[in-house]
Structure 1
Amino acid sequence: MTPFSGKYALVTGGNKGIGFAICQGLLAAGFDVILAARSLDKAKAAADKLHTNSKVRVVELDVADDQTIDQAVKHLSQEIPQLDVLVNNAGIYPDEGVNILTISRELLNRTMNTNTFGPIRTSQAFLPLLEKAPQARIINVSSGYGQLDGLSFDVPSYCLSKLSLNGATIMLAEALQAKGIAVNAIDPGWVKTDMGGTSAPRSPQQGADTVIWLATEASPNLGGKLFRDRREISY
């Protein structure tokens, strides 16, 4: 038994990269993990790779599609008593070949819808389950590209979406403080994933570490902060 036995964590985009490493870390800590992915087949394939017992559930959830979010909530509300940790990890990085002078409104919309509005909507939808947990936590996976001094004109939609996600983290933290739900964001650094590429210096496990720390060891009184390597950094 661990202190986190009987606690439940959901990870969006949990089928690969940092999300998969987060699922591994939370399972190792003792959580029951809900691995969410846009495709149920991909979620099941990822869960099979975890080689664990029945502590892994899978659910189809596309953060850009309200219907799948609501269906996931409805399904899980019948299966789990509460949600202790929500990790808003799913995201896209579609800025190849564009900059702030050439990017289309359509691409800006698509990235904001996934990377910013997705975590907001997912947090709203899972709030009834989060409210049932003592000291629930919402963790948003942001980026150094979302910091004011990290913005890059040739990564336009991704930077703006993570800047906005940081703002949403502050607002959600304020709105949920009275309910005892801590909301924070993390910058995983440049990580070897499909998104980060093969020349990135950090492993998915290193990228996931601060999420695991916020879910397990960090003070529940922390809220509205941005962390890198377990240390608070400026927005």
Structure 2
Amino acid sequence: MYQKIGSNVLVTGANRGIGLGLVKELSKLEEVQHIFACFYNQVKIEELKTFQEQCPKVYIIELDVTNDESIQKALSEIRNILGENSSLNLLINNAAILEQGGVTVQEPNRENFLRHLNTNSLGPVMVNAAFLTLLRNATSLNQPAKIVNISSLNGSIEKGSGTPFISAEGSFKNIVYGMSKCALNHYTKALAQEEPSIISIAICPGWDHL
């Protein structure tokens, strides 16, 4: 059974990979009128900009999920676009990092660990908190309100394989990525319990080599 998405969608980490793919697919839906494609890394944004030129419903918003000021600035920008009684129907937390070096059991680097946890775990926590009012507005208007946190099987103690990741440079291990997604899963459950009017889920969409 198809569930309505609603008019207004926000995707973090939308400049490449899974995030960009989501923006392109969501743009095909007639009911979706505003797609806020949020990015942080200016280096790989050309494809998103090219797509925006072809799709007027896409709005490119700068948003660093590790920076509270950036989150609030993005919120204000989106409110200005949507106008009074703004509502958000779908928030997809896709922004994440997966780095090499200083992320193993034998050679942990505190800053590298904290950077993963700050981006992959705390980032969605802070973004969701900032946009809760807009999501609640959607429910008050009898509109859909959903939060999708992009997680990973690596965040599962039962199903996480612990096998090395594969990159263009070769294979590597990163234990803090799974730790960060495990924390995200725990948070998602708490979010669903404490905000029952909003559908909140964590999903693993699969591996993207882009």
What is the TM-score normalised by the length of structure 1? 0.74
1:168 and 2:177 are equivalent in the alignment: no
Displaced runs of 4 or more, over 3 A: 3-6, 39-45, 50-53, 95-98
Identical positions, percent? 33
Provide, for residues 166-224 of structure 1, a one-character-per-residue CA deviation record: whole Å limited to 9, x for no partner: 111101111110xx11000111122232xxxxxxxxxxxxxxxxxxxxxxxxxxxxxxx
Q: 2:153 aligns with which of 125, 138, 144?
A: 144
Provide, for residues 123-155 of structure 1, a one-character-per-residue CA deviation record: whole Å limited to 9, x for no partner: 000111111112300000001111112063842
Q: 1:122 to 1:161 in 2, by over 3 A?
A: same
What is the TM-score normalised by the length of structure 2? 0.82
How far, CA to CA, are the matches of 2:157 and 2:122 in structure 1?
19
Match runs of 1:127-142 below 5 Å: 127-133=132-138, 134-142=143-151
Name the structure 2 match of 1:156.
175
Q: 1:110 aligns with which of 111, 115, 120?
A: 115
Q: Which runs of 5+ in 1 are unaligned?
A: 194-235
TM-superposed CA distance for 1:52, in Å, is 3.2
SS in 2 for 1:165: helix
Worse-superposed segment, 143-152 or 121-130: 143-152
How far, CA to CA, are the matches of 2:184 and 2:109 in structure 1?
20
Match runs of 1:56-135 below 5 Å: 56-80=58-82, 81-96=86-101, 98-133=103-138, 134-135=143-144
CA RMSD in angstroms comes to 2.2
Worse-superposed segment, 4-13 or 165-174: 4-13
